[in-house]
Structure 1
Amino acid sequence: MADEADRIRKHSQSQLGDCFSRFIPMKELDHDVNGPFSRRRLYSKANTFWAFFSQILDADGGCQEVVRKIQAFAGERSLKVPSASTSAYCQARHKLDESMMEKILNHTSKTLHERSQKQGWKGRRVIVVDGTGISMVDTPENQQTWPQPKGQQPGCGFPQGRICACFCLHTGALLSYRLGDRKKSELPMLRQQWGTFNKGDIFLGDKGFCSYYDVWKLQQFGVDSILTLARRTPVEAASAVKILGENDLLIQWPKPLWSKQHSYGRAEWEALPDVLTLRQIKVDVNAPGYRTKSFYLVTTMTDPEAYPASELAELYYQRWDVELFFRDIKTTMGMDVLRCKTPSMVRKEILMHFIAYNAIGLLMFEAAQMAKQHPRRLSFKATIQALRQWEPVLNRQGLKVLERHRLMALLHDAIASLIVPERLGRREPRCVKRRPKNFQCLTAPRHEMIECLHRTKITSIRDKECCRQAFQ
């Protein structure tokens, strides 16, 4: 048994597991008695999961780099060095169960929420919701599930998807998400995530979520909403139920008329109340450089003493943090353009990005507690950079327990050493300084354009007349 345990330990690629095993339910990665991962191989379930996790964090992000890392890992432990082909790794990655990865994601969200229960706004958890777009590899399978825009020629565009996600505002934890095509509205995807909200939570959203039906429905769950007014004319003071303060009114929304264009059924419409009592707050933006000079907030928190208008406006100002959460996932972690070629693997790639994002958030939370800092003040990108450099150090063979604990403490210190300064009211123009290369856009599938170039002996397609003649 000791020999078998030593053999399994040698085959276990656990350097990232040492950093994140406290946050990942390791029983989900146990050896299977039956099924795809029933045999003891280098690409076991745990090794494949951590290799996939490592691939998300790598600067290159390719399968070949992961295979090279596994080759170096095997060579250090005097094991048989696997082939440089990525086929075995890709097959093992395909065997990972999507439902298992969903359980791991939910566990990381729950763990981060439990560790940060003392944080919140007036003792309440604030859930901020927003949507974003992603792009996939141009394959027939991906195009069928997530079609490209109709205005693009076949073979000249990429499959486009849309994600609607719920984040905890104070910790940045991703609580839930839904994936659809680019035409999928964010409101129906939010309704699929109502189970994420608990009684006492606060829903924070932009004008895309300003809906009579959704505000009322969440109110039935005991969830308050703070939204930007949209699709309705602001109520004047003369028509208000009560004036609560300057630019602060207690109003009533009448029930919307029935229309077949509603995203809910007639029976649900009939169940709606005739009026909805809300609070309307006009917020003036005095900061120079902002395009918006004023906007209206609508909320179900109607008590002006418990929830002053200025505090609600300041809370809504923090909604912009959801853009930073998506930036960490899409730009820093590279989920903006996905690499997998089939819908099932695209979904797993998205899941692994979210698992890694939450796990890094938990590691930052631990480091922030030790340094007595707020976790949102730590740099997400610097944490990933530290992990990339500390991973081979933690992977050294024969590392003793005390030495490993010392290295982990130093890793926490390194993560907490870089504090992001608070830049309140920061404003930057949405402009780029570096110009892109002046290449022509692809107007036909690449293989057709290559064939035309060879057939007409044209060395460049910059000349539009030559290109037009080639295709004629």
Structure 2
Amino acid sequence: MVSVGLLARVYPAGAVDRAVEACGRRERRSRVLPARLVLYFVLGLALFSPDPYLEVMRKTTFGLRQVGLLGTWREPSKPSISLARRRLGWEPLRELFARTVVPLAEPSDAWAFWRGLRLMAVDGTCVDIADTPANDEVFGRHGGRPKPGERPYKRAAFPQARVVGLVECGTHAIVDAEVTDYHTHETTAGRESARSMRPGMLVLADRGYPGVELWRGWATSGAELLMRLAGSRYSLVPDEVLADGSWLTTIYGHTDRRREHGIQVRAVRYQLEAAGEEYTLLTTLTDHEQYPGSELAALYTERWEIESTFKELKAQQIGAGQVLASKTPDGILQQIWGHLLVHYALRVHMLQAARANTENLDPDRLSFMTCLRAARRITMMPPADFFPSA
């Protein structure tokens, strides 16, 4: 059965139970909808988006019924499912995500590394959510809260939740995420990505990110950084000009008026022939011989892999033009974490499929949409040790 079988291979029942237990959501008495089954049901909602509740429940329990694990269990009503979702909350899904997701590529996967560094990217995206007073109050929307004295922007049709992710470029695996309201800037939410950065990573980010405090927080993780600079944000006075034309410079925060707490970085400036526009990158990789500036300029295009990842999540998995249907903020958070978990599970299976190929394919050559359709279509039996409750 797809929605339990495929997902339970990435998120085994024991891992689900531990996440539920850690959040204090394990039931104290026997229920028709135990926490374990409800969590898998939420994953089913994401996998079969935008199918309605009862249809997803039938798909989620089909395999269990086929092997006799449900016994005399009767399909619950829609209100019962809604109540069970509220009991579970969103925290166990976030906990399961935090406990389970890791970068997937092996050091032998040359397509995921550059000069021994695992390529990662950070960026943010927004997800449309149901237009209810509660969602609007908690998450907000574009044009919804003008500053005092300013004319409001055109009001967006729906509230939005912001998701900032840390993605492994080679596999499109989202290995860290922060979910916030629309009005929290992605650089603020992005500070939390440092918890999943490690030595041996090279993190790419767009021009909105290279603030001194964010840079310092990410660099403390031991990861290397490569970010595009927005305009003339820093003067970039050379401390030392290097042989490849890049240079070492010191950047300061806007509150560091005495310039006492600067960070030395390397600046790489280049021009794209087609556009004629000049770009500047900042990096922690100060050795110009080991990390040539021309290669860094070419490498920066890998940042677009995170844009493709968000397209998979939003346009293909959630569905183009679809709005997350939960009427409450807790329900929205539950849905978002469910979608993040399902996307990761699909990416795990895509990598396994690529490795099973005799050519050890780069997963980029496989279609996410084809994988998603197959996961929705193929009926697989659940693992032999799977039961709907502990």
Q: TM-score, normalised by structure 2?
A: 0.81
Residue 128 of structure 1 contacts residue 168 of structure 1 at CA under 8 Å; is this kept in 2? yes
Alignment of 1:66-465 (within 5 A): 66-69=56-59, 79=72, 81-82=74-75, 85-110=77-102, 113=103, 116-119=106-109, 120-148=113-141, 149-150=143-144, 151=152, 157-232=157-232, 240-245=238-243, 248-258=245-255, 269=256, 273-287=260-274, 291=275, 293-334=277-318, 337-371=323-357, 372-391=360-379, 394-395=380-381
Q: How many Å separate the matches in 1 of 2:10 and 2:60?
A: 23
Q: In structure 2, how many angstroms separate the alpha carbons of the residues matched to 1:69 and 1:49?
A: 14
SS in 1 for 2:372: helix
Q: 1:173 to 1:75 in 2, by over 3 A?
A: closer
3-state SS in 1 of match to 2:204: strand
Deviation at 1:81, TM superposition (A): 4.7
What is the CA-CA distance between 1:344 and the residue it aligns to?
Answer: 0.8
3-state SS of paired residue (1:22): helix
User: Structure 1: how far apart are the matches of 2:262 and 2:50?
Assistant: 55
Superposed CA deviations along residues 117-162 of structure 1, whole A, max 9, x for unmatched, are: 54422222222010111221111211110123234899x8422222
CA shift digits 1:392-415 (9 cap, x unpaired): xx249xx999xxxxxxxxxxxxxx
**Corresponding residue pairs, total:** 364
CA displacement at 1:332 relative to structure 2:
0.7
Cα root mean square deviation, aligned: 3.3
Aligned to 2:80, the other structure's residue is in SS state helix
Identity of aligned residues (%): 23
> Aligned letter for 2:238?
A
Distance 2:293 2:251 in 1: 23
1:17 aligns with 2:17: no
Matched residue of 2:282: which SS? strand
Offset, 1:373: 1.0
Range 88-97 or range 365-374, more displaced: 88-97
Conserved? CA contact 2:251–2:264, under 8 Å: no
Q: Please say if residues 108 and 359 of structure 1, whose CA atoms lie closer than 8 Å, have aligned partners that are also in contact.
A: no
Q: Tell me the distance in 2 between the aligned counterparts of 1:308 and 1:129.
A: 22
Deviations 1:237-258 (A, max 9, x none): xx63333345x22132353442
Unaligned runs of 5+ in 2: 145-151, 386-390
1:43 is aligned with what amino acid? L
Q: Deviations over 1:250-292 (max 9, x none)?
A: 132353442xxxxxxxxxx5998554332222222234xxx56
How many angstroms does 1:67 deviate by?
A: 3.9
What whole-Å deviation, never above 9, does each CA across 1:22-41 have from its counterpart, x for those lacking one?
32142144499996634445
After superposition, the C-alpha distances for 1:201-249 in whole angstroms (9 at most, x for unaligned) are 222101000212322343343232111112526868xx63333345x22
Question: Aligned pair in 2 of structure 1 residues 343, 117: CA closer, same or farther (>3 Å)?
Answer: farther
Looking at structure 2, the residues matched to 191 and 22 of structure 1 have their Cα atoms a distance apart, in angstroms, of 31
- Aligned partners of 1:19 and 1:53: how far apart in 2? 11
When residues 271 and 26 of structure 1 are mapped into structure 2, their CA distance, relative to the original with a 3 A threshold, is farther
Tell me the distance in 2 between the aligned counterparts of 1:310 and 1:36: 54
TM-superposed deviation, 1:92:
1.8
TM-fit CA distance, 1:17: 3.2
Match of 2:148 in 1: none
Q: Distance in 1 between matches of 2:12 and 2:65?
A: 29
Structure with bigger RCO (C-alpha 8 Å, 6+ apart): 2
Q: Taking structure 1 as reference, are residues 217 and 370 closer, same or farther at Cα in structure 2, changes over 3 Å only?
A: same
Deviations 1:25-70 (A, max 9, x none): 4214449999663444552333322222222122533213224546
Q: Which amino acid aligns with 2:263?
A: L
